[in-house]
A and B are shown apart, each in its own frame.
Chain A
Amino acid sequence: MSKPSIWTRLPIVHQYRQSVGLQRGMLTAGLVICAVFLLAALLAPIIAPYSYNQLSDGAGDTFTPRQAPSAEHIWGTTIAGYDVFSRVLWGSRTAFLVIVVSVLLSMFLGILLGLVSGYIGGWVDRVLVVIADAVYAFPSLLLAIVSAIIISRGQSDLWGGIFATAISITVVFIPQYFRVIRAETVRIKSEAFVEAAQVMGASTWRVMFRHVFRNATRTLPLVFTLNASEAILTLAGLGFLGFGIEPSAAAEWGYDLNRAIEDVTAGRWWTAVFPGVAIVLVVMGITLVGESLNDLADPRLRTRRRASAATPADAVAATTPAARNEIGETE
């Protein structure tokens, strides 16, 4: 085995090489689902036969609402006359955008607060920890509802809706990044190399970002996958309660499921099953990847490690009790 290149040390690639047997199967399944999701989000305009808000075909014939799956509409039409297949595809795009915006925002704020809190300590730390714990223990959906009310006052257009939802989710996620990064910072702060940097006169910010942060990112891929899946569920929950994006502005799975309640009672299964399965599959895919990463980082849960794939990072993972406890709580 040659010297590990930068490629094999990349988060997912590294763990993939490390995995064996069933674990590799689960990781592969998760990665495949995620890839399909990304492709659907990217290629929705090309694959989808109609637009998300299209009510009639090119010839001007209006779609018949509540139509069962047929050759023309392979997954049927909704109560409002939209094409279900097209809306599910376009919905992946909305979900993807919300994940990206919400995770980037919460990562940035959560990491910053966690670093400052853990490194500086004192009363700032104590106050931030109490606040983060209080927010963390609160039902996240309710918090997201409250944020959605002030941000969007109900419904809005595509980007307004995406940002409103993403910010609502961000409020919920900040404490999670905060906790993980703070715990790591407190641990790393007492290490000799940090002290050395301080003694040599490095500024607080420099030590914080250059020396502490670089070493505190170990658990981020795990938190990322957990949050990405939770973002989809929160987006769908908000949409289901009517705090989503207007159907004419974008397709959103949660909103479609809300409109499908009536259909289900009348036995029209296609409007509920397809968007619902889309949510389940995407969340499962992301969670499978996250679970596998989690297990591979925890020596107690790891099946077997191939000696050939062992890298210095493994040694770190094997000697430091993994972040399972920090991560496990965010389930």
Chain B
Amino acid sequence: MADTATAAPTTASPAARKGARGGGSLWRYVLIRFLLIFPTIFILVTTVFLMMRVTGDPITAALGGQLTPAQLEERIEAAGYNRPLIIQYLEYLGQIFRGDFGTTLDGQPVVGVLLRYGGATLELAFYALIVAFIVGIPLGMLAAALRDRWGDAVLRVFAILCYATPVFFAGLVLKLVFSVWLGVLPSSGRASPRVELQIGRIDNPTGIYTIDAIRTGNPAYIVDVLQHAIMPGIALGLLTAGVFLRLVRTNVIGTLAMPYIDAARSRGVSEYRLVRTHAYKPALIPIITVIGLQIAMLLGGAVLTETTFEWMGLGFQLSEYLKARDYVAVQGIVALLAVIVALTNFIVDIIAAFIDPRVRY
């Protein structure tokens, strides 16, 4: 699907530019793009299923060595893992179609795990994206304006540094500096225990602490929640910030070579203004098209960030289930994330199509 988004500008026909395709084609694009979600989800779910099941069954993987072979056999029989793979597969597809992603070894439905912990991951990804926008876009424009000068080199090395630093190492360094040495920020968790207790008491908690804290109306709680979010947000956000910086830089440079920029320059518009007002907007469109991939990357990074900061989200749960060797839960969470990734990519592509007509089919 990333292919459709990024390859589309090159395949855009001249007709599209002339405006021969009106509003109707947008809806056609939305429909085709919507239908494409299903093969994507199907392929991902199948890949995950095959990879997890071809080599063995989850019960032996989790409890092998702890139970006698006879007990294992009994459990496998009860769970139906001794049937032909194709039957298990069809049954699994049927379950997923009904929204059932399996049950963890401790008896919780995977969808329930998502509902309980998904909010935390969403909140983390949101803060990370904000950090990425605030850091990446202005610095990318600056780097383009300072092209091939020292400032540009420094910013580009910074972008590479963002990419090269594993989120968990960035997290550990932030923790060391700001919570151990300087003692200004809390080192882990999503809120202080006392605040967490109070926030949990409100009616219909969303699980997104920022929203819940605002709903309590107590400024101290809001500050507490935000303080806990700063370091995880930066650790995860810098990764994407580096990508944005490079993307904005490259695209602003590309746009600055366009004839209309030369025209503006010849009228005496300053270099700073050229970047600020003329080259800036067209350079942002590619950002929208890569956000889909970035969200996938953020979800992967969230597993590591949440483990580093004991941020009780979906990623933290995933690593706990990994440790407990509960592979049914792992398979369920991963399949569920596949669906989420496919849906977000669909939404992102649609937004891109609304903003940039060249993206449509």
Contact = CB atoms under 8 A, between A and B. Distances in A.
B117 to A, nearest CB: 15
Interface stretch (B79-87, B268-276, B298-306): B298-306
Contact of B176 (A229, A237, A264, A279): A264
Nearest to B2: A137
B1 A137 contact: yes
Contacts of B1: 133-134, 137
A269 B153 CA distance: 30
Interface stretch (B89-97, B206-214, B333-341, B350-358): B333-341
A138 B168 CA distance: 20
Contacts of A319: none
Contact of B304 (A131, A135, A241, A287): A241
Interface stretch (B45-53, B221-229, B259-267): B45-53
A131 B43 contact: yes
Interface residues of A, number: 62
B172 A257 contact: yes
Interface in B114-172: 148, 150, 152-153, 156-157, 160-161, 163-166, 168-169, 172
Given A276-B169, A328-B250, A133 B3 contact: yes
A203 interface: no
A98 B212 CA distance: 45
Interface string B1-33: 111101100100000000000000000000000
Contacts of B56: 150
B329 to A, nearest CB: 12
A272 B173 contact: yes
A149 B334 CA distance: 13
A146 B153 contact: no
B327 A329 contact: no
B39 interface: yes
Given A280-B161, A328-B250, A272 B51 contact: no
Contacts of B337: 139, 142
A133 B2 contact: yes
A169 interface: no
B52 A149 contact: yes
Interface stretch (A21-29, A41-49, A102-110, A214-222): A21-29
A233 B175 contact: no
B330 A145 contact: yes
B317 interface: no
A136 interface: yes
Contacts of A130: 39-40, 43
A141 B301 contact: yes
A287 B163 contact: yes
A147 interface: yes
Contact of B299 (A142, A179, A237, A273): A142
A26 B153 contact: yes
Given A22-B153, A131-B43, A150-B54, 4 more contacts: A137-B292, A229-B164, A237-B168, A276-B169
Interface of A: 21-22, 25-26, 129-131, 133-142, 145-147, 149-150, 153-154, 179, 229, 233, 236-237, 240-243, 254, 257-258, 260-261, 264-267, 269, 272-273, 276, 279-281, 283-284, 287-288, 291, 300-301, 303, 324-325, 328-329, 331
13 contacts: A21-B148, A133-B40, A145-B303, A145-B330, A150-B52, A237-B300, A241-B307, A242-B322, A254-B166, A257-B168, A272-B173, A276-B173, A300-B254
